Structure 1
Amino acid sequence: MSVAVVLVAGGQGRRLGAAEPKAFVMVGGATLLEHALRRVLTASEVSHVVIVAPASHLEEAGAITSRSARPADVDVVAGGSERSASVAAGLAALRRDDGIVLVHDAARALAPAELVSRLVHEVRSGHPAVVPGLPVTDTIKQVDADGVVVATPDRAALRAVQTPQAFLREVLQHAHASGAEATDDAALVEAAGGHVRVVPGDALAFKVTTPDDLALVERHLTQG
């Protein structure tokens, strides 16, 4: 069963103060998309990558693909106005033999190839939907519309979920067929009645959202 990655290069980067979409912001001599693609292609299990880019940046995404280590294994398609529509566009571009699909965000540019490999192993071991997550260290408060605390969940049962997220192709396609919107693909699978397994994530799979996050990427790249 071949493994594909739908690499979402969306996000406007407003909180970064960037003039271009987040995935095309430069750091350490390359865009976030290039860093993410390089790590995904390093995973030996991955045979196909679909980059989902804003229509305005398809040419730039194509140029990044041509410079990659395995350009023949990478396709570029235009995304939609919402995340779910962008992932759906990536799913539509899968190849016939792509049986396991990982959905990943270019904004998590340092997520290591080892994390990809671990997730693929979990799916091949019988789990149809697997996501990485880290324990929550802060105390979490649930509040109402007026900001009044209504509950304090037990943080031992909470996880901060990351990408990439891995699925059997048919499970993910079934979840997307509902046309619902969600902040991640695991939520769509959950809404469709599927079971999602959470496995240990990786600190390097943090999401670039602010200038401080970008500086952290720079430091990691500098330190090797």
Structure 2
Amino acid sequence: MSSAPPSAAVQPVVLALAPPAPGLSRGASVPSLERLGGSLLIDRLLSTLHGAGLPAPLVLAGTSAHPALRRTLPRSLQVLEAPGGRREALRTALEHSGAELLLLHDAERALTPGEVVREVLGALHEEDDAVVPVVTMTDSVKEVRADGLRNIDRTTLSGLQSPRLVRRSLLEEVLATEGSGEDPVDIGAFDEIRSALERGAQVRTVHGSHAGFAVQDRLSLWQAQISLGLARDTSHRHGLARRS
């Protein structure tokens, strides 16, 4: 039986950690400050979280992005600097919130539909440690082996998206057992859900959305414009792959 928590009992955490990428307009210091259809990506995300009945989120940003996010977002929001990558950002979130449930949302996945957020919130069972939305893999995936490349069956794979509803106890355990050092250039190396699964945690999955891809470079920004009807899809002319 589902034991879905009241939305007010959940602490949303927005992780604005993706580095700037070539091709983003106006040299945005973080992809979530890119403007799309008249609105900043992060404003779209904040509106979605508010529409799900959630309280104000904590916003965690890397050192270079923190000043711009602090200037841009309302003073009523806590915008915290989190140097050192994803692990340190999650540790900072735990230090600033006593909530037993945290909803982790990558800021660059700002087009995630509200329906996905509500489904994640409503899917938690007593025996679950976390809930995460996933999408099926559509691109070819290969394994690199000593004797060459091997195709992997895509039906056995899923792509993890946002938001992730995680129990505090699980997050504390994962962070306590992970190394404290993290290469700031490779902020994508650590993933709390993958680490939890490696430790045998009970992670429930729900259907994600192909609209919930990460907008973090020129190609994904173009795909976001297409999804909102702001640009034409000509990817078939160039053999481009869609992001998940």
Q: TM-score, normalised by structure 2?
A: 0.76
d(CA) in 1 for partners of 2:146 and 2:50? 44
Residue of structure 2 in register with 1:11 after alignment: 18
Quote the offset at 1:57 in angstroms. Answer: 4.0
| Paired residue type of 1:216 | Q
Whether the 8 Å contact between 2:24 and 2:34 is mirrored in structure 1 is no
Is 1:102–2:109 an aligned residue pair? Answer: no
d(CA) in 1 for partners of 2:127 and 2:105? 21
d(CA) in 2 for partners of 1:145 and 1:35? 45
2:216 counterpart (209, 212, 217): 209
Quote the offset at 1:58 in angstroms. Answer: 3.5
Could you list the per-position Cα deviations for residues 100-149 of structure 1 after superposition, in whole angstroms to 9, with x for gaps in the alignment?
Answer: 21111111110122211111111255422121111112332111378x21
Count of paired positions: 213
Unaligned runs of 5+ in 1: none
Is 1:137–2:138 an aligned residue pair? Answer: yes
Residue of structure 2 in register with 1:25 after alignment: 34
d(CA) in 1 for partners of 2:224 and 2:36? 7
Whether the 8 Å contact between 2:105 and 2:163 is mirrored in structure 1 is yes
1:40-51 equivalent positions in 2, closer than 5 A: 40-44=49-53, 46-51=54-59
Quote the offset at 1:191 in angstroms. Answer: 3.3
Cα pair distance change 1:158/1:32, threshold 3 Å: same
Residue of structure 2 in register with 1:167 after alignment: 166
Cα pair distance change 1:179/1:80, threshold 3 Å: farther
Could you list the per-position Cα deviations for residues 67-122 of structure 1 after superposition, in whole angstroms to 9, with x for gaps in the alignment?
Answer: 8xxx4xx422111221221222122211x3x2221111111110122211111111
| Paired residue type of 1:159 | S
Is 1:54–2:62 an aligned residue pair? Answer: yes
Is 1:34–2:43 an aligned residue pair? Answer: yes
Residue of structure 2 in register with 1:127 after alignment: 128
Identify, as 1 or 2, the structure richer in helix.
1
Identity %: 25
Residue of structure 1 in register with 2:176 after alignment: 177
d(CA) in 2 for partners of 1:114 and 1:87? 25
d(CA) in 1 for partners of 2:71 and 2:126? 36
